[in-house]
Amino acid sequence: MLSLPSSSSSISGHKYDIFLSFRGEDTRRTFTDHLYDALQRSRIVTFRDEPELEAGEEIAPELFKAIQQSWCSVIVFSKTYAFSSWCLEELAEIVKQKLEKGHKIFPIFYDVDPSDLRKQKYKVGEAFSKHDDTYKEDRHKIQIWRNAFTEVSNIKGWHLNNKHESKFIGAIVKKVSAKLCQTYPIVHDKLVGISSRLEELYSKIDVGEDDVHIIGMGGIGKTTLARVVYDQMSSHFEGKSFLADVREVSNKLGLASLQKQLLTQTLSEGGFNIFDVNEGNAIINHRLSHKKVLVVIDDVDNRKHLEHLVGRRDWFGLGSRIIVTTRDEHLLRSYRVDYVYKPTTLSPNDALRLFKLKAFDSETVLEGVFIELSKHVVRYAGGLPLALEVLGSFLCGRDATQWRSAIERLKRDSNKEIRDRLRISFDGLEEREKNIFLDISCFFNGEEKDFVTKVLDGCEFFPDIGIDVLVKKSLVAVDGDNRLWMHDLLQEMGRKIVWEKSIDEPGKRCRLWDERDIQHVLTKKTATEVIEAMIIDNQRESNKTLNLSVDAFSKLKRLRLLKVLCLSNCDGLKYLSNELLDWKGCPSQAFNRTTWLHFCYNTVTLNNYGREPDPCTS
């Protein structure tokens, strides 16, 4: 029988998952034996007493110790359970552990009525009358037994009630197994704030069910969470495999190498020679179709990964669980996975805890200048575990002066390791989706989705499907007010992609949003035909006129988006020609263009059919 993860027992102090309490002469060779066997098959560590322990009248000390070393007790109340002083002593100790240490109790009512037990009548009443005669000199003991009986019989449990025993036992094992998984301690120091996410995920994984479940995970921190589940639950399976970095490994070594790893890990044997993926499919199906396995397939980015590593549900034995992590939620849904789970960013408190663990190697109380400096970094990371871990590790062991320098540098330039990790999802996008992502990061973060869709539709980016792709890849979110939202670090990455195309001369970048850059380009006349979108913002200097000449716009041959926000006279915009602008939706012919732009926050969509590829995304 497989044991629980070693870290589980050492931290919790529990040697057993379950202490099984029952009346031997009633159910030892029947119901309880079948239940014990089912628990063993589910890799649940169960203590049941042996007949020789019951040789004497007094309960053996080993049983008290076993109860104390168990996480929970399953009590089989049968017709003569209450007649056994041995069983009642067990019951009293179980209740004592419940009240003092939170020991869990799961009662089973086997051919007895729970109400009879609560009221202590009929057979139960007869049993206690017998004990009253036997233990006349020890009324206190009898009262403890009665109280324990009342306490446990009021707990909601399972009532056989003429059900088929096999199905009845299956339901019990499923429930207990699920409860056990939710209680396994988290031993990884970087998994701050993760406990609250596990309960929902474990309920969907549902290790007690006999069918095969495929669970998908997208969003933030998915690989970390999948690793926790794998570590905590693997002891409940006959075989296990964690295939890390599938996207990268597949590109370098091919899918056949991953198929070989899957077989080697789950079967604990080597010697698999797989020459092509179709052969690998057949071997996986043949060797694993009768084996209950836990498989994590991490960082999948195309359907072929799923076809050759997950295949069909009948590739794996009953009770198997397949967990797939990916940046592309749509890939999971198109493969008809049973459930898609999306982890979220950490709360401010959990984010600070995680950062402290990485920066100071402990959760010690911060002192002095590091209190405010840590808060600066946590605000910058925005609850993103990846950023907190990278920045915490980078700052670990450095002094306050170096921290300040690093924070100031972050304001100007994001951390390269974080940026490179985040960019993987961007690099996998189609051309139009890259354009939508860059437009949102430069101009539309926080804008109403329908408005952005209408604008980008005029750019022929097909935003209805494009925005959905970005949402499914967790690059963009839509909030409750139907506004597009992008994490600060993702927005920073997008703007960095644009900026890196021409570090020294903004006139050679495809998108312009910074006020100083636009002032430079339009007044120094350094614009090039690369520019296709910009913001003109003259709000801050309302006492000044932004004087623009026709020459400033003469080179903007690819301009498709112009966002204008003017509180003063943006003189010169009137020189934009009719051939360049499509003024659909202008509210009134009574307003000239400068006056309308003066009063409205508007986006002008420019006709530019037959454009060449965007230099920022190509």
Catalytic residues: 90
Q: Which helix (H) or strand (E) holds 537?
A: strand 533-537
CA distance 352 to 464: 37
Contact yes or no for 54/48 (Cβ under 8 A) = no
CA distance 148 to 98: 11
Nearest to 81 by CA among 158, 143, 146, 23: 23
CA distance 612 to 32: 75
Nearest to 92 by CA among 27, 151, 16: 151
CA distance 108 to 157: 6
Torsion angles phi and psi, residue 116, rounded to 5:
-65, -35
Torsion angles phi and psi, residue 615, rounded to 5:
-65, -20
CA distance 549 to 523: 9
Q: What's the sign of the alpha-carbon dihedral 11, 12, 18, 22?
A: positive
Nearest to 150 by CA among 126, 183, 175, 125: 125
- What does the block give as tokens for 594? 């400068």
Q: How many C-beta atoms lie closer than 10 Å to residue 87's C-beta?
A: 25
Contact yes or no for 329/340 (Cβ under 8 A) = yes
Query: SS3 string of 46-100?
Result: EEECCHHHHCCCCCCHHHHHHHHCEEEEEEEECCCHHHCHHHHHHHHHHHHHHHH
CA distances from 70 to 234, 393, 496 (A): 20, 39, 55
Q: CB-based burial of residue 539 (10 Å sphere; 0-12 exposed, 13-18 middle, 19+ buried)?
A: exposed
**Helices of type H across 184-314:** 195-205, 222-233, 246-253, 255-267, 277-288, 303-309
Q: Which residues contact 151 (CB under 8 A, 6 or more apart)?
A: 95, 98
CA distance 612 to 139: 94
Task: State the chain's maximal CA–CA distance in angstroms.
Answer: 111
Intra-chain end-to-end CA distance of the chain, in Å:
57
Q: CB-based burial of residue 160 (10 Å sphere; 0-12 exposed, 13-18 middle, 19+ buried)?
A: middle
Gyration radius of the chain over CA positions: 33
Burial 476-514 (b: 16+ CB within 10 A, else e): bbeeeeebbbbbbbbbbbbbebbbebbeeebbbbbbbbb
